[in-house]
């Protein structure tokens, strides 16, 4: 077991070193790291399930490594892990006194969880760590290996905060979050209260309000731009002309932001309404019956029972709204399809233009784009922590 255990650790480690030397460290190295870790755990714990996961990681390593020698080492490490798995099983059978009554259950849990953990590590943790590191470096392009990076310290953060476009994008994002959030969540809560009050045709109204979420956002934005805001034949100007008014250029620079925000709110209300409805429907009916007996009307019941018991749901909606605001991009791009306009620019659009500039005279800066992503992540985290402090959980268990 000692020989196979050492080989199952050394071979993927050697493949990892060669991959880093010849191709640079990248996401393709993650399976090799996982194979080394699980091989060490299997050898230490004498666990056949851990050895089986090592085999799985080694085979992924073979598929991802792009150097012939490292692929061969991956195959050898997989073979060594197979023998390690067999020897671990024999060791367990030869030492029944070491057996844990709950070991089979634990190994089963580990066996099911570890592949998901590896996938999460590869698909989520690595990009996050790499983006954080990129924000402190200069690099030729976004896919350049680490060997070509040049340390820049906090220079990238200084660069973006000195940019007027980035400051304007943050201002626009805050306006979307504040004004759009108030209108969206207020309308969503109002519709949720109305639709749970026992009105007729509530299923129809619920489906109708949610319908914009089913339609593609691109199609929805196009509908607003072409059929609602169009200066010549748009619905709003048609109504104005009907009353002998002067048509308004809704897509002018000074109006475009509010036109974009209004159309976005139209498509977002239904989503948050359903979340509020799910929270209202969990409130015990006994509370409303008791309030009715005490003489409380519908408005008093809403302010004294419904709203206070929706604090947890409100916190969830605020979190989702913050994430949607921070990742706001498509609507800005639809309202500014050619050149990014200051009136509708948002941080994600600034990030994209920084990493992949459309104008030939602008230098791409992947490090600055990564810094924008980190700033947005910090903003979302800060809002979430503040909401957890300000908005406490419901006093009554629903």
Question: CA 364, CA 358: separation in Å to the nearest integer?
Answer: 9
Cβ atoms of residues 252 and 245 within 8 Å: no
Query: What is the per-residue pLDDT across 330-360, written as a single tens digit (0 to 9) for each?
Result: 888 888 887 888 888 999 999 988 888 876 5
The token pair that represents 112 in the structure block: 């099911």
pTM of this prediction? Answer: 0.71
CB atoms inside a 10 Å sphere around CB 214 = 10
Q: Look at residue 250 and tell me whether its pLDDT is greater than 50.
A: yes
pLDDT band, residue 71 (cuts 50/70/90): low
Position with higher pLDDT, 347 vs 6: 347
Mean pLDDT of 303-326: 86
pLDDT value for 17: 75
pLDDT value for 359: 67
Q: Look at residue 221 and tell me whether its pLDDT is greater than 50.
A: yes
The token pair that represents 89 in the structure block: 């099983």
Position with higher pLDDT, 253 vs 92: 253
Question: CA 390, CA 386: separation in Å to the nearest integer?
Answer: 6
pLDDT value for 275: 92
pLDDT value for 182: 93
Task: Write the secondary structure of the chain as one string of H (helix), E (strand) and C (coil).
Answer: CHHHHHHHHHHHHHHHHHHHHHHCCCHHHHHHHHHHHHHHHHHHHCCHHHHHHHHHHHHHHHHHCCCHHHHHHHHHHHHHHHHHHHHHHHHHHHCHHHCCCCHHHHHHHHHHHHHHHHHHHHHHHHHHHHHHHHCCEECCCCCCCHHHCEECCCHHHHHHHCCHHHHHHHHHHHHHHHHHHHHHHHHHHHHHHHHCCCCCCHHHHHHHHHHHHHCCHHHHHHHHHHHHCCCCCCHHHHHHHHCCCCCCCCCCHHHHHHHHHHHHHHHHHHHHHHHHHHHHHCCCHHHHHHHHHCCCCHHHHHHHHHCHHHHHHHHHHHHHHHHHHHCCCHHHHHHCCCCCCCCCCCHHHHHHHHHCCCCCCCCCCHHHHHHHHHHHHHHHHHHHHHHHHHCCCCCCCC
Q: Look at residue 183 and tell me whether its pLDDT is greater than 90.
A: yes
Question: CA 199, CA 226: separation in Å to the nearest integer?
Answer: 35
Query: What is the per-residue pLDDT across 88-117, written as a single tens digit (0 to 9) for each?
Result: 767 666 666 555 556 556 666 766 777 777
Averaged pLDDT score across all residues of the chain:
81
Integer-rounded Cα Rg, in Å, for the chain is: 29
pLDDT value for 22: 67
Q: Which residues pair with 151 in a beta bridge?
A: 137
Mean pLDDT of 297-319: 83
Mean pLDDT of 15-40: 71
pLDDT band, residue 397 (cuts 50/70/90): very low
Q: Look at residue 28 and tell me whether its pLDDT is greater than 70.
A: no
Range with the poorest average pLDDT among 107-121, 135-149, 263-277, 380-394: 107-121
Q: Look at residue 398 and tell me whether its pLDDT is greater than 50.
A: no
Query: What is the per-residue pLDDT across 128-173, written as a single tens digit (0 to 9) for each?
Result: 888 888 899 888 888 777 778 888 888 899 999 999 989 999 999 9
Mean pLDDT of 54-80: 67
**What is the bridge-based pairing of β-strands 137-138 and 150-151?**
antiparallel
């Amino acid at each position: 077991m000692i020989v196979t255990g050492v080989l199952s650790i050394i071979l993927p480690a050697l493949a990892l070193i060669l991959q880093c030397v010849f191709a640079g460290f990248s996401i393709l190295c993650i399976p090799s790291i996982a194979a080394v870790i699980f091989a060490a755990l299997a050898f230490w714990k004498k666990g056949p399930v851990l050895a089986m996961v090592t085999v799985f990681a080694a085979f992924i390593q073979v598929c991802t490594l792009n150097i012939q020698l490292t692929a061969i080492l991956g195959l050898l490490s997989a073979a060594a892990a197979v023998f390690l798995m067999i020897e671990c099983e024999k060791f367990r059978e030869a030492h029944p006194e070491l057996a844990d009554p709950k070991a089979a259950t634990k190994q089963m849990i580990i066996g099911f969880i570890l592949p998901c953990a590896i996938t999460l590590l590869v698909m989520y943790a690595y990009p996050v760590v790499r983006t954080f590191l990129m924000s402190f470096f200069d690099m030729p392009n976004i896919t350049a290996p680490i060997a070509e990076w040049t340390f820049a310290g906090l220079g990238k953060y200084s660069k973006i905060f000195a940019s007027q476009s980035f400051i304007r994008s943050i201002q626009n994002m805050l306006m979307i979050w504040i004004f759009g959030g108030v209108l969206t969540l207020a309308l969503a809560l109002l519709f949720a209260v109305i639709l749970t009050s026992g009105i007729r045709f509530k299923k129809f109204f619920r489906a109708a309000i949610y319908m914009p979420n089913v339609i593609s956002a691109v199609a929805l934005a196009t509908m607003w731009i072409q059929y609602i805001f169009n200066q010549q034949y748009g619905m709003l100007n048609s109504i104005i002309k009907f009353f002998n008014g002067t048509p308004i250029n809704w897509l002018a620079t000074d109006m475009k932001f509010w036109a974009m925000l209004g159309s976005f709110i139209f498509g977002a209300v239904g989503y948050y309404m359903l979340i509020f409805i799910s929270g209202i429907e969990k409130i015990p009916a006994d509370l409303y019956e008791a309030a009715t007996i005490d003489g409380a009307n519908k408005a008093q019941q809403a302010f004294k029972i419904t709203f206070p018991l929706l604090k947890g749901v409100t916190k969830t909606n605020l979190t989702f709204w913050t994430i949607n605001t921070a990742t706001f991009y498509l609507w800005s791009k639809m309202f500014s399809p050619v050149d990014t306009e200051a009136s509708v620019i948002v941080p994600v659009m600034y990030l994209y233009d920084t990493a992949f500039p459309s104008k030939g005279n602008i230098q791409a800066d992947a490090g600055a784009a990564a810094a924008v992503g980190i700033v947005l992540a910090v903003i979302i985290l800060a809002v979430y922590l503040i909401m957890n402090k300000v908005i406490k959980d419901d006093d009554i268990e629903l």
